[in-house]
Structure 1
């Protein structure tokens, strides 16, 4: 039986949303039914066999929509294959080394027995919402640091793990 995966995300300026859509697209390419949705729009996770939750990082905190999603659905998430991702470093560091999750995300991961976490570079460009974001862009420290081949490779690993769990082993 093929898995059905939800990729829920919290995003302010669209960078994390694009990463979530890339994860879902990659999973579909790998033969897995996947849907990327803004975290606040998800009424229930019970229709899904596995869940990926992503949130942008803002001042060392995961996006509020991602945090609220995990809190709201914690009982349904428990026992399901579950992965988290964060996006945000506005430099090449996420492509150069594994960046561990921030403390609050790490605590959620422990409570819910999350299978894995990845941190991807973020994007902050002209027109960004928020005073601090605009200041960062105007100071010349913005840009697009997302590494789509790395995002796709991470999603491929999720697909392989789901395939192995289902006994498929066809990848």
Structure 2
């Protein structure tokens, strides 16, 4: 039986979307059909056996599209394997240690029995939209802190779990 996985994301400047794309690429390499979609455009989870949800972090909160996606689809998510990821720290801390989920994500994880969560470094570079982004960049605090090897490693773990579930 073919496994279909949705990788939904809440992303403003495309950094979290790029992480979602990397997760889906790893799943596809493992023989899993994976579709990447912006969380705000997903209307139905029926076609998917599992879901990965990613959201950028802003001021200690998950991207509004990721939050709304989880709230809107909580009934369907409760009946599927689900993983979460966050992206956000604009420094190397996410590569140096495990960063726990922010409180809102942690509450959603408990309600949905989410199988795993990871926080990846974020990316904020010239051209980012928004007043806060411009202030951060002006203060010299931007940069790309995404660790694609860590992203691929985490996604490989998700693929292995999905593979084990398919063979039960």
TM range (shorter): over 0.9
Aligned length: 168
Q: What does 1:1-171 correspond to in 2, within 5 Å?
A: 1-167=1-167
TM-superposed CA distance for 1:2, in Å, is 3.1
TM-score by length of 1: 0.97
Give the distance between the partners of 2:133 and 2:126, measured in 1 at CA: 9
Deviation at 1:35, TM superposition (A): 0.6
Aligned equivalents of 2:123 and 2:69: distance in 1?
22
* In structure 1, distance between residues paired with 2:48 and 2:126: 36
Note the alpha carbon deviations across 1:55-109, whole angstroms, 9 max, x for none.
Answer: 0000000000000000000001002000000000000000011100000000000
Task: Specify the SS of the correspondent of 1:99.
Answer: coil
**How far apart are the structure 1 equivalents of 2:82 and 2:2?**
16
CA deviation vs aligned residue, 1:10-43 (integer Å, no higher than 9, x gap):
0001100000011001100111000110001111
* Displacement of 1:154: 0.5
**1:166 deviation in Å?**
1.3
User: With structure 2 as the length reference, what TM-score do the two structures score?
Assistant: 0.98
CA distance in 2, matches of 1:46, 1:129: 34
**Distance (Å, rounded) in 1 between the aligned partners of 2:30 and 2:106:** 28
SS in 2 for 1:51: strand
State the secondary structure of the residue aligned to 1:23: helix
CA RMSD of aligned residues (A): 0.8
